[in-house]
Amino acid sequence: MPQYKAPVRDMRFIVNEVLESEKLYQSLPGCEDATEDIMNAIIEEGAKFAEEVVAPTSRAGDEEGCTWSPDGVKTPTGYKEAYAQYVENGWPALSADTVYGGQGLPNLLGIIINELNGTANWSWLMYPGLSHGAINTLEAHGDEQQKQHYLTRLISGEWTGTMCLTEAHCGSDLGLLRTKAEPQADGSYAINGTKIFISAGEHDMAENIVHIVLARLPDAPAGTKGISLFIVPKFNLNEDGSIGERNAVHCASIEEKMGIHGNATCVLNFDNAKGYLIGPPNKGLNAMFTFMNVARIGTAVQGIAHTELSFQGALAYAKERLAMRSLTGPKNPDGPADPIIVHPNVRRMLLTQKAFAEGGRAFIYYLAQLGDVLEHGTEEEAKRADDLMALLTPIAKAFLTEVGFEAANMGVQVYGGHGFIREWGMEQIVRDSRISMLYEGTTGIQALDLVGRKVLGSGGKLLLEFTNIIDEFCAANAGGDNDEFLEPLKAAKDEWLEISMKLGEAAIENADNAGAGAVEYLMYSGYVTLAYFWARMAVVARAKIAEGDGDASFYEAKLMTARFFYKRLLPRKEGLKALVAAGADSLMAMPEELFQI
């Protein structure tokens, strides 16, 4: 497995120089403690923990996997001990509400800690990572007793949380779910049903697990309008909140998976398990979206994590591996061959990984900042942040995981045959990253959400919110050398609006046209969005070079990577544009009976 080195300098660059986080947080009530010094210290300490404690568990997690028995699930060597240190250090409470034991720091810092630990070992991070969604759901929708009994323990890290949506007959179509919730005389509910693919659904790392479960009440309307949300703990609580008897929820089995072997993906049986309603009846899906949006942003972080880790492994290998001579003459004349980093094709792969990792990091951190504005800003600021997050979250989740998988495959390619061999760890990154395009809504589901609900469904309003930001940025920085990025960015933004309008017109003629072009439209949107963040980074880097402020080589590398993105990656949008325009005819014309083997 590549030896993970946290990209602390790049994180500080984005947090402090590009996104000017201290300036933002000093303007948000409740975030004033997030000074540059505090944020830098947290990044440094988080990096040490990820490198020294979490990263060493990655190989054992992949090779050992989890072990099921009727008594529960045993996690791989080192997982439980790493989690104990994680809790002892206070990391679960970092960005949670101070009223319930949190530290009250911005969501941005929680996202950064997740990236660090997720890059070190994504399978391990999923255990505490899923708790964040449960925390946010209970903060937003739980009653005071639920917060005191469950939220406080989730925030401390004593307990972990899950989200229980999927059933064998329904994945993303939650309107089909069958799990039942029967009211009981004591105000609780008897939950009956089976949930599958429940990540971190059973383990030995915490004394209790708080399952957030979707189920139907007896008189519930059909479809998504009849879904309610429940707390179902692994262990029931006594009246004083202490742990009581075992609840009737059990792990029937764990899945044998392509990757993320260190995380238990469980089949959970609920057999008259005691549950407690969260929020109003039949409004569970609305409440669950609090969990799902957090999970989607968290999955976008996975795209960055695997891009970064594969890049680090590929870069180290490319500098050491000798093979052939440079096309322009020997670069290592005293050796038998040149290091493969001198070859254009290897450079293409390394720079693609670097551009996606660093551009994606800026994108995710920006989304995290929007989450903080949504929580702490004025009503007007919060509404604007909510609109931007609605548009950008499906792009981040789908685009960054798609290119993350591409980057992971490039890491194997850089190694050649050695990349295919288990001992190097590069093939594990490919296997671990593949799930990211599936859970929390597949790429196709995210694309339909973007096109149907966010762009066309808002009449283009949400898209214009973001393109206006691009316009303002370009106007503020126009002229001089910056135009090498700003002119193509403005052109891409204009074209984005144009193809959005044409897609809407095509969808009016035939709704299948929207579905046929949705994935390509989302990927197109991702390239333009990343172009905006690369332009922002390039403008800052150029200014720092001009001022003679800081490490000039770092800023020069930023400019060079930005040029690579604009010259070699942004042009991919042209092929995507053609596919969006192609419509549904060639996809839907063939009758089903002609699909034969």
The catalytic residues are 440
Coil/strand/helix, residue 520: helix
Question: CA 340 to CA 319: how far, in whole Å?
Answer: 7
Residue 162 DSSP class: E
User: How, if at all, do strands 243-246 and 235-237 pair?
Assistant: antiparallel
Beta-carbon contacts of 595 under 8 Å, excluding residues fewer than 6 positions away, are none
SS (H, E, C) 310-328: HHHHHHHHHHHCECCCCCC
CA distances 421 to 36, 57, 126, Å, are 43, 20, 26
207 phi/psi in degrees, rounded to 5: -80, -15
DSSP secondary structure, 549-562, as one string: -S-HHHHHHHHHHH
Question: CA 580 to CA 379: how far, in whole Å?
Answer: 37
Check if the beta carbon of residue 291 is closer than 8 Å to that of residue 94: no
Check if the beta carbon of residue 18 is closer than 8 Å to that of residue 363: no
Question: CA 290 to CA 145: how far, in whole Å?
Answer: 20
Beta-carbon contacts of 74 under 8 Å, excluding residues fewer than 6 positions away, are 66, 67, 204
Distance, C-alpha 193 to centroid of its chain: 29
User: How, if at all, do strands 249-254 and 180-183 pair?
Assistant: unpaired
Tokens 């401390």 appear where? 156
Check if the beta carbon of residue 214 is closer than 8 Å to that of residue 205: no
Distance, C-alpha 532 to centroid of its chain: 19
**Number of H helices and number of E strands within the chain?**
20, 11
Check if the beta carbon of residue 60 is closer than 8 Å to that of residue 74: no
Exposure of 77 in the CB half-sphere (CA atoms within 13 A): 6
Longest dimension (CA), the chain: 84
Check if the beta carbon of residue 139 is closer than 8 Å to that of residue 371: no
Q: Can you name the residues that pair with 243 across neighbouring β-strands?
A: 237
Question: CA 193 to CA 180: how far, in whole Å?
Answer: 6
Residue 391, burial from CB neighbour count under 10 angstroms (0-12, 13-18, 19+): buried
Q: Which two tokens stand for residue 448?
A: 């339909």
Question: CA 504 to CA 497: how far, in whole Å?
Answer: 11
b/e 231-247 (16+ beta carbons within 10 angstroms → b): bbbbbbbeeeeebeeeb
**Kind and range of the H or E run holding 275:** strand 265-278
Coil/strand/helix, residue 452: helix
